[in-house]
Amino acid sequence: MNYGSIALPIAFRFFRIPIKWTVDRIGDKRVVTNTVFRAEVLDEKLTELDPVSARLRFLRLKNFDTTKELVRPALEFLNSVGSFMEHDQITENVEICIPDRESTEALSYPKLEIGIWEIEDCLEILGDQMRTDRPIYPSLQLGLRYNKARPEPFMSMASFWQAALAITLVDRIKKAKVRSCAECGAPFSIHTKHAKKFCTWSCAHRAAVRQSRIRKDAGK
């Protein structure tokens, strides 16, 4: 017997694997030929992050014009999100447990080495993904938990790249508008009918302060 279908909201949960990132500059004192970020997984509890906020903070890294300028803010970002992306192949038998996860499957082991060029490539890819009609579909697993007998489906993600692609796909499903911030230039999604020029309050405040100074200088 076919009972039809029911509509249930799906919660997207992004968990930060506790990782400490460091910078390894390859080359000599005069010429740095490569910059690599290396990770160490720490024995600490996972914490939950807001994937929308993390995606926006990542996209704002594009404001740094040169690779040299990008290194420090990229390191700060990596340490804030933990795992940047999952390893292509699981080479170690490691299980990372997620709170409330109803699956016995282990999450893919995080990639422990990221080149600065990969950060730059991902910035380009994610910006394009927010505007294109041909999205990259992330690999997601649906879990189910119960709250007082009410089923609550959820998807748990433990790498930033997986979370960023997932919420970008959600934006597309919801037909969200994508605009570039008038202050920092980062693309951001809009889910309301109200026009927004800035991606965050801080960008709006910075623009307002600058305009106020311009008006004061013009009045002198």
Over residues 153-194, the pLDDT tens digits come to 888 888 899 899 888 888 888 787 878 787 777 777 777 777
Using one digit for the tens of pLDDT, what is the confidence trace for 2-27?
667 777 778 888 888 889 999 987 76
Nearest to 50 by CA among 140, 146, 164: 164
Long-range interactions of 204-208: CB distance < 8 A, separation 24+: 207/182, 207/183
Please, are residues 110 and 87 in contact by the beta-carbon 8 Å criterion? yes
Question: Is the overall model pTM greater than 0.95, yes or no?
Answer: no
Mean pLDDT of the chain: 78
Q: Biggest alpha carbon distance in the chain?
A: 80
Please, are residues 154 and 143 in contact by the beta-carbon 8 Å criterion? yes
Mean pLDDT of 71-81: 94
